[in-house]
Structure formats: C-alpha cells, structure tokens
Amino acid sequence: MEPMETTQSRVAVAGSSGLIGTALTRSLAADGHDVVRLVRRAARGKDEVRWDPKEGYVDTAGLADCSVVVNLAGAGIGDHRWTDAYKRELRDSRVLGTSALATAMASLDEPPRVFLNASAIGYYGDTGRRAVDESAPAGTGFLPSLCVEWEEATAPAREAGIRTVIARNGLVIGSGGGAWGRLFPLFKAGLGGRLGDGRQFWSYISLHDEVAALRHLIDTESLSGPVNLTAPDPLTNREVTAAMGRVLHRPTLFPAPAPALRVVLGEMAGDVLGSQRVLPTRLLESGFTFAFPGIEEAIRSALK
C-alpha cells in the first residue's frame, strides 16, 4: 500500500457528520492530514467548504488544494418509511451530490488525484445463498437502480483523469449510528431476535475495518472502480442474532415475523428480509488485512 503524498495532505469529506464520516475524519486528523468538511451552510473557516448537493453547487475554490475528495453523503436508508417523496430524497441526496462534486473537481485546473465515493452492496439486490463479488451485475429493484445511478454520477471525475474508487459498503457494525446503532439498544434490553426466518445473509464490516479500508482505497494507487467493503465471511441473520446474544449475554427470543416487518417498514422490508452474500474480493486481492473479520470480534470492537 502506498502512503498519501505527505503527512499534511488536504482531504475534503462530504458526509463528515455521519457514523462513517465522523470516524474517518477523526482517523485522518489523527495522522496529521488537513481535513476539510463540506457543509450545507456558510463556511465558518478554512476547514469548511460550502456546497448545496441538490442545487449542484460546490465552492470549487475550497477544493483547489485538496489531493483527495471523499463523498459519504446521503439521506439515511432506514431513517424513514420509503414513501415516494423519501425515495426521491434518497436518490437526490446521493446522485445529485455525487454529480455536483465530480463536476466541480473536473473543472479545476489541478484536480484532486483521488475521488472516493460511497455506494452500497444494495447494488447487487437479493442474491439469496449465491455469493457475489465486484464482477456480478446489478440486481433489480429500487436500491440496485439507485446504486447504479449513484455510481454513474462519478463519471465527470473519472473522465477528467481523477482516480475514482467506489466503496460498496456493507452493514457497518458501530454503536454510534446506522443499522447496528438501532440494533444494540434492542439486544441490550433483551428484545433482539432474528428478522423473518433469519436465513438471509448479512454482509457486515466493523467500523474499525470500514475506516481502515477507506484509507486503504485512498492510498492504493492501483485501485479504481467498485470495491466491496464487507468482511470475508458473510453470515445469516440467524447467526448474527445468536452472536449478538452471546456477546451481550442476552436472550434473543423475540423474532420479528416477515408480515409484521412488511406492515411496519413497507417497501424497505424487502431489503431487510433480502439476502446479500457479498465477498470483498478486490479488497483482499489488493493486500488489505481485516482487524476484526469475525462477527463476535466485530461486535465487541463496536462496544469499546
């Protein structure tokens, strides 16, 4: 793995206040990098850059001396029921924001050398028990089509010669947000259980390894295009549920039946109950080593 150009590289991060963004910016700053946050209000200092993703606006002057731009921005998939209006929000917050950043970078006389853009393993749709890696095509349904548009929106940066890497994120195990942030309180209260029949595969990754993998994608010059960020051994929801019970020393006796999930979650229930057995082939081939590859150690790392 090749290191960043200097210990004082300037890195712009969109979505810096989320679970992953907060951990990534902390990691970068701890290693001496100059982190610039993209914000939707007026910038309050040299460490902020104004942007409006829905309007396609980016203050390009703030990106002029950045060697890396990371885009993790997007409305939360599980924050609201998937009404037509919220599905537009999910799409626009990702596709329009990515397009705005890619276009802004491409317009610079000296563009950043790396554009790292988030995507998700939702790209593959429901794979059942079939294992897939980056060579697999997109699935069908709302999330796969969203991911396809999201990734295609990076085109202006790629066409401008900027090394563009797509991080297809799995389920990140962290206690400070995301899906697992909602699961921990339930399981700690002894109210956790499998979802549906529990046979669907969950492709997870610890927050520690997620951040390390993002840093690896930035630093590894040979990598571009999509890279799956998931642990090497996906497990079923039933197996994950059992591991949560063991680590937290709580019973897992309250399964959520599929019909009830469909009533509560609407269309999103299809993705909760769907199976995604995703392998990190390109990440492993590029030399990345997981610190917490197993489910129990990944869960414990989130509780430290």
- Give me the residue spans of the domains in the chain: 10-302
The per-residue pLDDT for range 90-128, each reduced to its tens digit, is: 999 999 999 999 999 999 999 999 999 999 999 999 999
Dihedrals φ, ψ of 115, to 5°? -120, 115
Of 4-18, 79-93, 121-135, give the range with the top mean pLDDT. 121-135
Residues in the chain: 304
Say if domain 10-302 classifies as CATH 3.50.50.60. Answer: no
What SS3 state is found at 166?
Answer: strand
Are 146 and 205 in contact by the 8 Å Cβ rule? The answer is no
Q: What is the DSSP letter of 102?
A: H
Residue 37's alpha-carbon distances to 63, 70, 200, 240, in angstroms, are 10, 10, 37, 35
**Is 90 exceeded by the pLDDT of residue 194?**
no
The CA distance from 266 to 74, in Å, is 21
The CA distance from 227 to 167, in Å, is 5
Q: For the ranges 95-104, 196-205, 219-228, which has the lowest average pLDDT?
A: 196-205
Strand partners, 20: none
Q: Quote the pTM value.
A: 0.93
